[in-house]
Amino acid sequence: MLFRGKPGSRGEPCLSVGFEILATTISLLLTAMLAGCGGSSGGAGSGADSSLEQIAAVSLSPVAKLGEKIFKDRSLSASGKLACATCHNPDNAHAPANDLAVQMGGPDLMTPGFRAAPSLRYLDLTPAFSIAKDGKVTGGFDRDGRAQSLAVQAARPLLAPHEMANASAGDVVNRLKQTSYAKEFSQVFGSSALDNPDTALDRMTFALQQYQKEDPDFHPYDSKYDQFLAGKVKLSSAELRGLALFNNPNQGNCAACHTSKKGADGSAPLFTDFTFDNIGVPRNPDIPATADATYFDLGLCGPDRTDLTERTNLCGAFKVPSLRNVATRKVFFHNGRFKNLRDALGFYVRRDTNPEEWYPAAADGTVMKFNDLPDRYKANVNTTEMPYNRTRSLAPALSTPEIDDVIQFLGTLTDGYQ
Ligand code: HEC
Ligand code: HEC
């Protein structure tokens, strides 16, 4: 079994609730005073004008400002070369700017990761992980939902041997003590904040969380589609055709999981319903771990997650990602198997009509469908809902010109439309 990070890094934070409430109150007060909209309520898609956004940008709480410095600081990694912002590049919708299936980390940047690095945009409204009585799985952070909050999540990359590769909380905090903002850290969190490594790491990850929640750069709601929903711009006819195909339950049916309509409260759509599904993405030989034929990334049921290994019906399911900014992504799906939207969408609609396009052939010539799952879990793949309910004898749910229209529409989900 591959070693995948320190078990201790996945624990609950020891942060006291009282402290969290205090910091949140301060940040809310500041935000309210400045009439900004940088709080975590961004769902309204207010389409605020740029002057308001500038006010919001300077209205980050002191905790969040510290979080921004930590987020961008390469000196907090063992290599001295990796910051959160390296893999979650603010100039590429907080996702990698390169097209590697997995990023390289570790002390010498020679250790490959296991999953494609996701965009960090529009995560602030993600609900906590839960499994409902009917078995529906929702929420949480990371592609398997294993982190209960952004703060819990943030400890993992700092400690993971294939990412920032600190050996311990003490190691992280020793690096923090060397930074130009160590003094500011003590001013914000108290003069003894750096004394205990575990407490200091909890404060750091809390600051990283507040930065991601408060800074409107992570959720600007200023795509062409947002402006279209606000009645400010028109979509082209190809974009409108794409939107209709995306929504149509008998064609793309994409909106069944990638929500495209405003919420009942007028909140802007996030293009995810936060659920999980198994869509049978092909194995990606570009991930070095796959050289071991017994290695499988099964999402909800492990190996990164360890609490649901018995729930074998969940094996192979991954979180539905938001499709906001999807046109800026360089690799797609949890294993980065596809490098462009045309292939990602072609896979969706021709997975079952033309499986030989996506999966390799066995020695006897049969197509190894769903080859990134052990045989016993292949029945978990969604084969009932559009667009996955096809067979070889049926037409794909979308034709090639229709795929082009959906791609045009997905292009309207990129932030920063002028
Ligand atoms: C070497 C690249 C790399 C670095 C550095 C890195 N991450 Fe990530 N990040 C990833 C990968 C890969 C995942 C997906 C992990 C998974 O699903 O198990 C991820 C997932 C996340 C998620 C969850 C996103 C979601 O959709 O639920 C958040 C939040 C996040 N990272 C924040 C951070 C923060 C904060 C830092 C800095 C402390 C950081 N990352 C550093 C690669 C990186
Ligand atoms: C039944 C739920 C469901 C439906 C319907 C659905 N998706 Fe998805 N989508 C997912 C899940 C789950 C993933 C993540 C799978 C993974 O990482 O293995 C995903 C991932 C994606 C990605 C990759 C995004 C990224 O950042 O890597 C794209 C693109 C995408 N979907 C587009 C579409 C389009 C277009 C449609 C309609 C043709 C559609 N989806 C229909 C559940 C769904």
pLDDT per position as a tens digit, 79-129: 999 999 999 999 999 999 999 999 999 999 999 999 999 999 999 999 999
Which pair of tokens denotes residue 165?
Answer: 């590769």
Atom of ligand 1 nearest to the CA of 82: 5
Say if ligand 1 is within 6 A of residue 117 CB: yes
- Alpha carbon distance 290, 67 (integer Å): 35
Residue 181 CA to residue 384 CA, distance in Å, equals 54
Which ligand 1 atom is at minimum distance from the Cα of 155?
38
pLDDT band at 15 (very low <50, low <70, confident <90, very high): very low
Quick one: tokens of 55?
């006010």
One-letter amino acid at 154 equals A
End-to-end CA distance of the chain: 49
Contact 212, 67 (CB under 8 A): yes
The alpha carbon of 197 and the centre of ligand 1 are apart by a number of angstroms equal to 22
Q: Which two tokens stand for residue 63?
A: 């905790």
What is the Cα–Cα distance from 210 to 22, expressed in whole angstroms?
A: 13
Of the two residues 14 and 337, the one the predictor is more confident about is 337
Q: Which ligand is nearest to the CA of 248?
A: 2
Mean pLDDT of all residues in the chain? 89
Q: Once rounded to an integer, what is the mean pLDDT over residues 390-398?
A: 91
The closest ligand to the CA of 156 turns out to be 1
10 contacts 147 by C-beta, under 8 angstroms: yes
Spacing, Cα 219 to ligand 1 middle (Å) = 17
Which atom of ligand 1 sits closest to the CA of residue 145? 27
Instruction: State the distance from the centre of ligand 1 to the C-alpha of 124, rounded, in angstroms.
Output: 14
The Cβ of residue 362 has, within 10 Å, a number of other Cβ atoms equal to: 10
Distance CA 279, CA 348 (A): 8
Its sign, for the CA torsion 96, 216, 261, 319, is positive
Measured from the CB, is residue 253 less than 6 Å from ligand 2? yes
Q: How far is the CA of 321 from the centre of ligand 2 (A)?
A: 7
Select from 389, 21, 43 the least CA-distant residue to 229: 43
Establish whether residue 304 lines the binding site of ligand 1, counting it when its CB lies within 6 angstroms of any ligand atom: yes
Residues 6+ apart with CB under 8 A from 318: 143, 144, 276, 277, 278, 299, 300, 333, 334
CB 405, CB 270: distance < 8 Å: no
The residue whose CA has the least distance to atom 40 of ligand 1 is: 84
Instruction: Say which residues have a Cβ less than 8 Å from residue 283's Cβ, sequence separation at least 6.
Output: 290, 335, 337, 371, 372
Lowest mean pLDDT among 274-278, 284-288, 292-296, 385-389: 385-389
Q: Indicate if ligand 2 lies below 6 Å from the C-beta of 76.
A: no
Whole-angstrom Cα Rg for the chain: 22
pLDDT score, position 389 = 86
- Nearest Cα residue to atom 36 of ligand 1: 84
* Residue bearing the CA closest to ligand 2, atom 3: 257
CA separation for the pair 292, 280 (Å, rounded): 19
Residue closest by Cα to atom 41 of ligand 1? 84
352's tokens? 């079952």
